[in-house]
Chains A and B, each alone.
Chain A
Amino acid sequence: MKTLFEKLFAILGGILILFLVVPLVKMIFSLDFGVAKKVLSDLEVLQSILLTLRSAMWATILGIVTGIPLGYMLARKTFPLKSLVQAAVDLPVVVPHTAAGIALLMVFGRRFLGGRLFSFLGLSFVGTEAGIVIAMTFVSAPFLINAARDAFAGVPNRVEEVARILGASPLQVFSRISFPLALRGILSGALLMWARGISEFGAIIILTYHPMTTPVLIFERFEAYGLKFAYPVAALLVLICLGLFSLFRFFASRGDRRK
């Protein structure tokens, strides 16, 4: 028998879940089969979806390589200005993403120092896939860094200390103990970062309108042709994302069962 308290909480939570799910479900179920087929054969749409998934993947890889060490340092070490570093990590979450795009443009734009330096290496961030990758990295890295930090903080200190006394170097403790134990949290952070990268619009549209990622393409079709031409692309992107996340969750739960 549920108490009044539980019923109230279930109703309030249920309202939010409906609010989150109904628009997406409606969009998917409104999809006309014929239109979907047409969208699927639209090269521009397919290229933009591939570009979005690929760029978000590169951003995530960049995040993994740099964010895991940072997450570990934040969880385990004390260093000067640590709280400032933590605040800097969280900054992209609170900054409006169009503003983040402007900020990135003012560093990596062709007329600015960062952009010029990178142009020597043959790298340009305006109107290129590299630009999409850095925009995605900027806005989504906090998810991975914070997840890695929390995962490392969850590894008992004592376990790492005993490993060292038993003969493991700091690198061996990290690779054999801390990292494997934090892996699940890191993976879920990486997945979140990838998902956040895919959905990014504001920063990308400022830095790199072309080539078009799917969120930009949806916006453009909505502006130029209206809802009828925009929503099939949106529905397709949502379906692909849902499929991929379900797949990841399935493998993650299988991994858990094995443990």
Chain B
Amino acid sequence: MIVLKDVTCKLGVFQLQPVNLELREGDYWILLGPTGSGKSVLLSIIAGLIRPDEGHVFKDGRDITAVAPEQRRFSMMVQDFALFPHLSVFENIAFPLRVRHRPRDEVTREVKAMASQMGVTYLLRRGLKGLSGGEKQRVALARALIVTPDLLLLDEPLSALDQIIKRELMEELKTLHRKYGIPVLHVTHDFEEGITLGNQMAVIHQGRIIQQGTPELLSRQPATPLVAAFTGIRNIYKGAIEVRNGSHLFRKDSVVFEIPMGRAGEGVVAIPSEDIVLSHAPVESSARNTLMGEVRELRPRPPLVDVLLEVQTLPLIATVTAKTVEKMGIRSGMSLFATFKVASVKVF
């Protein structure tokens, strides 16, 4: 188990606020944050590349804050893979074994076994020139896993890949994690990556962990609008909250809808685009909010489509399937009704 206790670090103008994190056996942690949020600094602290100013890093109860990176028994894979360009694929995978002075026979045996597992046996005798992004990624992963590390650190490992290979490798990472059970800390700015792979998630912004928990919790109960934005909620509005006859209302310009709670005054609300039901006519249902808007744009996101409505001056995105778009004949300029439950509105 890896534990971070009150870890802080100042690098130039950047300040990492006290971080507390627990990575348990079998955990797949996602550290989600925008560029410059401090996620890579945190990764470097865990790896031992940066010494924190304050706080401690523990591994199985032992304080490893001052332990050198090579003695931590961790592995790492980064966005550009950081493969060693002067070494063959075989030697790249063998590197962690070579620096541990493992016998030659053992190195050959283990590299072959790992290469076969990662499906890169056919590359072993080659150099790195001409390898595709997916192949490089597999080689980097084989190199990271060959010593069965106590923690696998992944720094934006899928960012450099195209969508198809990315999905394929996400599945592979999932399978490998299940198989080896090695705790993983995966840094990314992509929530989809996070929710597909992780069972724990922390959102970091400006050097501070804003919220941590399961991905489901973060998307169901985002603590701040930023977490909501990160978890893919796109309908986030700043406006006025009013309390009238026991009901809570949210007003943005001339658009008003009901919200589950909130203090009167200025507030921020978010409506998950998946929770919005579209119809040609107002529908009778338990959902109490119905707004009429005009379709401005259709943004395909296979197999889904984001329908961008303009409700007076308020932009509202509803996510439906491509089939629904076809069946309802949704197109730009059309007027539609958007219905959503009061309970689906998140209030910050």
Hey, which bits of chain A sit against chain B, CB under 8 A? 156, 158-159, 161-169, 172, 176-177, 180-181, 259
Contacts and interface: CB of A to CB of B under 8 A. Distances in A.
B83 to A, nearest CB: 8
A177 B96 CA distance: 13
B86 A180 contact: yes
Interface of B: 44, 47-49, 68-70, 72-78, 80, 82-86, 95-96, 98-100, 127, 143-144, 147, 153
Contacts of B49: 161, 164-165
A163 B76 CA distance: 9
A70 to B, nearest CB: 23
Nearest to A168: B99
Contacts, number: 69
B99 A166 contact: yes
A19 to B, nearest CB: 39
Contacts of A180: 86
A169 B48 CA distance: 13
Given A181-B85, A259-B86, A259-B127, A165 B74 contact: yes
Given A162-B76, A163-B84, 19 more contacts: A156-B82, A159-B83, A161-B76, A162-B82, A164-B48, A164-B68, A165-B47, A165-B48, A165-B153, A166-B96, A166-B143, A166-B147, A167-B73, A168-B95, A168-B99, A172-B99, A176-B98, A177-B84, A180-B86
Contact of A167 (B84, B100, B153): B100
Contacts of B96: 166-167
A118 to B, nearest CB: 40
A259 B99 CA distance: 23
A259 B88 CA distance: 10
A259 B74 CA distance: 31
A59 B75 CA distance: 42
A233 B10 CA distance: 64
Given A158-B80, A168-B70, A259-B127, A163 B85 contact: no
B75 A166 contact: yes
Given A158-B80, A162-B76, A167 B147 contact: yes
B166 to A, nearest CB: 21
Contact of A165 (B69, B85, B86, B98): B69
Contacts of A162: 76-78, 82
Contacts of A259: 86, 127
A164 B69 CA distance: 6
A169 B99 contact: yes
B125 to A, nearest CB: 14
A257 B68 CA distance: 38
Contacts of A181: 84-86
A162 B154 CA distance: 11
Contact of B70 (A158, A167, A177): A167
Please name the 3 residue pairs, one residue from A and one from B, whose CB atoms are nearest each other, closest first.
A162-B82, A168-B99, A165-B76
Contacts of B77: 162
Interface-centre pick from A167, A168, A176 (highest chain B CB count, 10 A): A167
A158 B78 contact: yes
Contacts of B98: 176
A165 B75 contact: yes
B86 A166 contact: no
A176 B84 CA distance: 10
6 contacts: A162-B78, A167-B70, A167-B99, A168-B70, A169-B70, A181-B86
A15 B99 CA distance: 53
B47 to A, nearest CB: 5
Contacts of A164: 48-49, 68-70
A54 B127 CA distance: 38
